[in-house]
Amino acid sequence: MSNVPWVEKYRPHLLADVEGNVETVKRLRAIASDGNLPNIILSGPPGCGKTSSIGCLARELLGDCFKGAVLELNASDERGIDVVRNKIKMFAQQRVTLPPGRHKIIILDEADSMTTSAQQALRRTMELYSNTTRFALACNTSSKIIEPIQSRCAILRFTRLQDDEILARLLKVCEFEKVEKTDGGLHALIFTAEGDMRNALNNLQSTHAGFGLVNDDNVYKVCDSPHPLVVKEILAACQLGDIDTANTHLTQLWTDGYSAIDIIGVFFRIVKAADGINENTQLQYIRHIGFCHMRIADGLDTLLQLQGLIGRMAALNCTTKETSDRKSVV
């Protein structure tokens, strides 16, 4: 088991072990205790526990029959209409001995990547084999699933995990794997994960394998992400109107090889969570960052765009100071 990725090694096997999304998991536990599984759609961002949750539910419902009564297909498998007509239909037709009141389960991960024709064929298959088979579809956005399938399913929505929920799982893994860590390293893992448990565990394992010590500098090196402290220094310089210092730090980030989209992303997250900034100023900062992000996304991903951003942020602060000075004189 030493060569198994930690994401798989510490994947939960019971619904009680799933972190976060308490209300949604509570509904799944109610289904497990009742035993009558409807067709369901699990919708939410990557790494929030959709696939793990439905796997746990299937284990609790089917017990020892899990291996023979569950078919799991991922987006890496061929997902055209032929797969629905052949592989899925053949599994639905198979006879499997199950406990009373239980059904075979077909798990379609990343179902929103299926073609429309395949989804139409799937709708008919769901109708024909409703007495013996239940379908669980996991997707990032439920709107990409055709309405006839949505109307046949109960939709369960997952959200990004909270920082304390990711921290709880990271601490457990660090304890089991005897990982040498610092508080700054754990905070960096949570910051770079952005609510994605899979991302956090992968970064933890990579940092531990590459450096041994999990601290903030090593985590940001592994994740290839701009260090938030540098971005905070740029923000502090902009607040003081010191455009030269801000530009020096920004140019250093650019020279280190970070892309404009990486830098602007960290800018937004730092400004959004910043304390000690006037609310109106903070909103103006976010507005300027949003416009800059839009231009970068349109292809203008140059250093000049970022320099223009810090120039506008510094000028905004100077204008705010001048206004307050005039009011005090009056």
d(CA 273, CA 275): 7
d(CA 303, CA 301): 7
Element (H, E) at 41: strand 40-43
Q: What mean pLDDT value characterizes the chain?
A: 88
Token pair for 178: 């005897």
Q: Which residue has the tokens 């905004």?
A: 316
Question: In the CATH hierarchy, which top-level class contains the domain 228-329?
Answer: mainly alpha
**Whole-number pLDDT of residue 231:** 92
Averaged pLDDT for residues 79-101: 81
Question: In the CATH hierarchy, which top-level class contains the domain 163-223?
Answer: mainly alpha
**Percentages helix, strand, coil for the chain, rounded to the nearest 5?**
65, 10, 30
Residues 104 and 69 sit within 8 Å (Cβ to Cβ) = yes
User: Chain-centre distance of CA 199, in angstroms?
Assistant: 8
Q: Which of 12-21, 81-90, 225-234 has the lowest mean pLDDT?
A: 81-90
pTM of the predicted model, to two decimals?
0.82
Residues 228 and 258 sit within 8 Å (Cβ to Cβ) = no
Token pair for 115: 């073609």
Which of the four CATH numbers 3.90.1150.10, 3.40.50.300, 1.10.3730.10, 3.30.390.50 does domain 6-157 have?
3.40.50.300
Averaged pLDDT for residues 61-90: 79
pLDDT in tens, 218-244: 999 898 889 999 999 999 999 888 899
| Residue 327 pLDDT level (bands cut at 50, 70, 90) | very low
Q: Is the pLDDT of residue 24 over 70?
A: yes
The full set of domain ranges for the chain reads 6-157, 163-223, 228-329
**Whole-number pLDDT of residue 319:** 63
The two domains 6-157 and 228-329 share their CATH topology (first three levels equal)? no
pLDDT in tens, 97-149: 888 888 899 999 888 888 888 888 888 888 888 888 999 999 998 888 999 99
Token pair for 179: 């990982």
Q: What is the dihedral of CA 74, 79, 84, 88, to 10 degrees?
A: -20
Residues 114 and 122 sit within 8 Å (Cβ to Cβ) = yes
